[in-house]
A and B are shown apart, each in its own frame.
Chain A
Amino acid sequence: MTAIEASSSGGEGINPVASVIGIILILIAIAITYSVAPPAALAALIGVIVGGLLIGFGVHFVPVGGAPAAMGQSPGIATGVAMLAAGAGLAGLFGGAWAAANPEFGFAIVIASGAIGGGLLMAITCLMVNIVYIFGMGIPAASGKVAKDPITGDTQEAYKSQGTEGHGLPFISYVGGVIGGLLGGAGGTLIYYELLKLYSALLPDILTADVAQIMPIAVSLAGIFAIGMFLVNAVLAAYNITGTIEGPHDPKFKRFPRAIIGCATASAVCGLFAILIVVV
């Protein structure tokens, strides 16, 4: 068994003690918010938690091959999980924030704009990755984790180079990457949008200024917290993946429930501090 095979078995179950502690932390964060902050803050915290778990879930879809992918030793995009997921999510946040600045647009349009921004980055990146593999290195895409592509039905084994785990970006990985970008962009934008609404409601009283004057501060604060929480959740999910993942067909994908609990807990605690800076 090679090192890559050894690390890709996946599928460890959920640790019940750790999960219970995580859920208790989430409940404590919600209780503190409920007791010290106005009702709008509770809605914001729930939004932040949902955004965090969307990011954590989305990261598992992104096909990342790390250094082995850069040598054509394993399928996926040749970069780190947290890096790529953060790149996609932040591009989504850019689109979502732009839509949020337009007062005519409601919740659904803002979140959808963020999702499409992330999906677009992944769609273009995945295509260019395959172009470099196919036209720059002469390698067709082949997966090492499944015999047939679950979407197209293409067989994989015959196209795999000797001594490798596969290479390139099979179609299922491409679709997984786009789904990951959509979820990440939506999650990041949700965190930003909920915090922005809360800050623009509370900051005018705290700073004794009108809404137009505090908007640059509210946007900057919400943006910084959204970027920060994006990185927190992407890195947490990356620890769950440990290195490389091909996409939704990879056995490691089944580990996502652990990451969801972890990301929700981390987001609850981070979200609590993001709310407390304007409440206490």
Chain B
Amino acid sequence: MESVLFGIGVTALAGALATIAGAAEDTESNIGSQGDPNSQVQLAPQMGYIHRIYNKAVSGEPPAYGLWVTISAGVAWAFMVAGMNPVLALVIASALAIFVQGVYATTAYLGRTASLAKFEQPVYIDVIKSVTTVTMAHAFVAVFPAVAMCYLLVAALNHPFPLALLGIVWGIALGAAGSATGNPFYGKERQYQSQKFGAGVPISASGNIVRYAEAGQRSSLDNGWFTAKLAGPASGLCFGLIVFFELWRTVLFESVAAGWGAIIAGVVIILIFMIIDRYIEVWARKNYGPYQPETTEEVSA
């Protein structure tokens, strides 16, 4: 009984850490414009819209986060083998991994922006100075809880994978959950605020991103502020629920029905989420109704 209670406690803690990691991951990727909507940031100068948005998307979020979390996990493991206190090892290893992220962010921004030189998109030195440090700070808030969660899975729940391997697995899953959930809010609601709310962005409007903030030109720091209110928490909830339910069903039901208990619990959870999804889909159709075209809107091809 005690071991089950201990397992549930660890599960809750791991879920909470994953929630923080997910929320910070999405905000970091929006400040750095690393998710899928980055294509619009890259496209804008080609359409004649010069902007001050940071763009560090060389690869997608999942491989990038896979890299940073794995570096942190590997270095933390080495420190712990050398006899360092685990908490200290996790903090220092995460900080070291963030320096890699900082180098990546700087070179990616410079490289991507330099490729737009023929469209007269300048490299803003003040944007590098202000945004890089902020994205590094957010990356630390994302990577540290992710690695701490992986350490909990090894040390407290005895998962067979070594720490670095769990870093790859959960780093990629963190990036996948964050980029899936948070990207639409950043891509549509933030970059296309000039478009009608409650409708998709017409293909003809591609590249025409909103470039001005309340006071002066918008920089990527404004994006962090905006997306932290919905996309970040939604991504955090998504990753937190994934980690929590994955652990919870195993810790609590693995001993039921010779191992099939955890699988049945998983199927039930999936069905519950499916029913919730269907409910909100029907709710949206009932409450929003069919699409109402605006007479003033440009008809696209």
Chain A 205-231 interface mask (CB, 8 Å, partner B; 1/0): 000000000011001100110010000
A71 touches B200 (CB 8 A): yes
Chain B 190-242 interface residues, beta-carbon cutoff 8 Å to A? 191-192, 197-206, 230-231, 234-235, 237-238, 241-242
Task: Give the CA-CA distance A160 to B199 in the complex, in Å.
Answer: 8
Residues of A within 8 A of B235 (CB): 128
- Given A87-B177, A130-B277, A163-B300, A98:B201 Cβ within 8 A: no
Please name the residue on chain A nearest to B276 by beta carbon. Answer: A127
A128 touches B301 (CB 8 A): no
B35 touches A70 (CB 8 A): yes
Residues of B within 8 A of A116 (CB): 249, 262-263, 266-267, 270
B266 touches A117 (CB 8 A): yes
Interface core residue of A71, A93, A128, A154 (most chain B CB under 10 Å) = A71
Chain B 272-301 interface mask (CB, 8 Å, partner A; 1/0): 011011101101110010110100010111
A162 touches B291 (CB 8 A): yes
**Is B99 at the interface (CB under 8 A from chain A)?**
no
**Is B50 at the interface (CB under 8 A from chain A)?**
no
Q: How large is the interface on A (under 10, 10 to 19, 20 to 34, 35 or more residues)?
A: 35 or more
B234 touches A178 (CB 8 A): no
Please name the residue on chain B nearest to A93 by beta carbon. Answer: B169
Residues of B within 8 A of A99 (CB): 250, 254, 259, 262
Interface core residue of B183, B184, B260 (most chain A CB under 10 Å) = B184
**Is A33 at the interface (CB under 8 A from chain B)?**
no
Task: Give the CA-CA distance A227 to B170 in the complex, in Å.
Answer: 12
- Given A130-B280, A162-B300, A171-B278, A83:B179 Cβ within 8 A: yes
- Given A90-B169, A90-B173, A137-B198, A83:B63 Cβ within 8 A: yes
Please name the residue on chain A nearest to B38 by beta carbon. Answer: A67
**Is A109 at the interface (CB under 8 A from chain B)?**
yes
Task: Give the CA-CA distance A72 to B191 in the complex, in Å.
Answer: 12
Chain B 105-134 interface residues, beta-carbon cutoff 8 Å to A? none
Residues of B within 8 A of A112 (CB): 260, 263
A98 touches B160 (CB 8 A): yes
Please name the residue on chain A nearest to B39 by beta carbon. Answer: A67
Q: Which of B63, B205, B288, B297 contacts A140 (CB 8 A)?
A: B288
Residues of B within 8 A of A59 (CB): none
**Is A86 at the interface (CB under 8 A from chain B)?**
yes
B161 touches A120 (CB 8 A): no
Residues of B within 8 A of A130 (CB): 277, 280-281
Task: Give the CA-CA distance A136 to B187 in the complex, in Å.
Answer: 12
A83 touches B161 (CB 8 A): no
Task: Give the CA-CA distance A88 to B63 in the complex, in Å.
Answer: 13
- Given A124-B273, A223-B161, A224-B165, A88:B176 Cβ within 8 A: yes
Residues of A within 8 A of B283 (CB): 134
Please name the residue on chain A nearest to B300 by beta carbon. Answer: A163
Task: Give the CA-CA distance A4 to B199 in the complex, in Å.
Answer: 18
Closest 7 CB pairs of A and B: A87-B176, A163-B202, A72-B200, A70-B187, A163-B300, A116-B266, A138-B198
Q: List 9 A-B contacts (CB under 8 A).
A: A70-B35, A71-B188, A83-B62, A94-B159, A98-B250, A102-B254, A141-B284, A158-B290, A163-B301
Interface contacts beyond A72-B199, A94-B246, A162-B202: sample of 7 additional A-B pairs, CB < 8 Å, sorted by A: A67-B39, A72-B184, A80-B62, A83-B172, A86-B62, A99-B254, A136-B189
Q: Which residues of A contact B (CB under 8 A)?
A: 2-4, 66-73, 77-80, 83-84, 86-88, 90-91, 93-95, 97-102, 104-105, 109, 112-113, 116-117, 119-121, 123-142, 152, 154, 158-171, 174-175, 178, 215-216, 219-220, 223-224, 227
